[in-house]
Amino acid sequence: MVTAEQRMREIAHRQEVDAMAAKLEGDKKSAVASNLTVRDRLMRRLNQVRIATPFHDDLGDFNIETRLMTSSERERFMQLNQMLAEARGNPEKYGDAMKGLKSLVGNLCLTEGLGKRYWESGEPSDDVVLTVMLNTFNAAGQVVLEGLESFRKK
């Protein structure tokens, strides 16, 4: 099992790699790519696929962006979603499920100012957490299906 510290180091490493690659063009990107492992490239790809969840308020439309989910994150979401469904009449189970979902969306969110601390603070309403997670989960599933379809065409 991956510890929170290992996960944070991995995220920081990915962010450093992403920042380096964003500054480079053409041949420079090729040089960076040649220094990355396939694993690094796959993990970097997670941040390249951005999923927008639309919201509306009295000032207009806005989006919360998340990254593509890993397989383990999709599995965790399904477990938490099941836990939430079973929580009827059980406030403790509901609270545990929402706590897990807030932590998960905190790991996935790419929108500036909405880091893990925000999601776990208790500020966001449950409907926002659930909307972002459901949209991210569904979009991630669509990316997987598109990948399978492109593979079948070859």
Q: Which amino acid is at 46?
A: L
Tell me the pLDDT tens digit for each residue of 76-125: 999 999 999 998 889 999 999 999 999 999 999 999 999 999 999 988 99
Beta bridge partners of 60: 57
pTM as predicted: 0.70
What percentage of residues in the chain have a pLDDT greater than 90? 44
Classify residue 101 as exposed, middle or buried by CB count within 10 Å of its CB (0-12, 13-18, 19+).
Answer: buried
Instruction: Give the per-residue pLDDT at 68.
Output: 87
The ranges assigned to domains in the chain are 1-48, 50-154
Tell me the pLDDT tens digit for each residue of 15-46: 777 777 666 665 566 666 666 677 776 777 76
